[in-house]
Amino acid sequence: MSYGVNLLSPSLWFKYFGRRLFSMVPPSAIKNAGFAATGISIGRNAFIGDGVYFIDGFRPGLIELGEGAVLSPRVTVVAAAEPGGSFLPLEYAVSKTARITVGEGAWIGVGAVLLPGISIGRGAIVGANAVVTKDVPEMEVWAGVPARALKSVSDFGRIAVSSH
């Protein structure tokens, strides 16, 4: 991992071990506060499932989860992609670091991968194991590799709410 970080920085080590520690905490406000302390912006009532992995080179401000956003287990959020010690980034523009935003109430399915620079709209749903390479508009359902639009969330129909 190079990402331009200083390996002697206590802040880096706090973030590194903090993320490892908080990844083992059950989904809760404690887990969210722990990840927020490592530089991830987390809205109120966001849900971070087991085994979620954030790759941002430990730079603050690259990942934002909106209020009530849901990251199901094993989601990978890749805001900084770099091939490490390979010759590739020296000769080709293959590395990319860009902000990822998951909008209010969006639901990211189990094992999905979000790549650098994408935005998931409010209330959007990303299917299990999808690889998101483009912005997902609000209230749309996307799935596949690469992810593509399948339908609108409204196609599911509304749930009748009874008033007791």
d(CA 121, CA 140): 8
Q: Residue length, the chain?
A: 164
- Using DSSP, state whether 106 is helix, strand or coil: coil
Instruction: Read off the pLDDT band of 5 (50, 70, 90).
Output: low
pLDDT, residue 72, reads: 97
pLDDT digits (tens, 9 = 90+) for 7-29: 778 888 888 888 888 888 888 99
pLDDT digits (tens, 9 = 90+) for 51-99: 999 999 889 999 999 999 999 999 999 999 998 889 998 999 999 999 9
Domain 10-154 has CATH 1.10.620.20: no
Burial of 164 from C-beta contacts in 10 A (0-12 / 13-18 / 19+): exposed
pLDDT digits (tens, 9 = 90+) for 87-130: 998 999 999 999 999 999 999 999 999 999 999 999 999 999 99
d(CA 127, CA 135): 14
**DSSP structure class, residue 59:** -
- Using DSSP, state whether 60 is helix, strand or coil: coil
Output the CA angle 44-117-76, nearest 5 degrees.
65
List all residues 6 or more positions away from 117 whose beta carbon is below 8 Å from its beta carbon: 96, 98, 99, 100
CB count within 10 Å of CB 65 equals 28
User: What is the value of pTM for the model shown?
Assistant: 0.88
Q: Of 69, 60, 151, 67, give the one whose Cα is nearest residue 112.
A: 69
The full set of domain ranges for the chain reads 10-154
pLDDT, residue 1, reads: 42
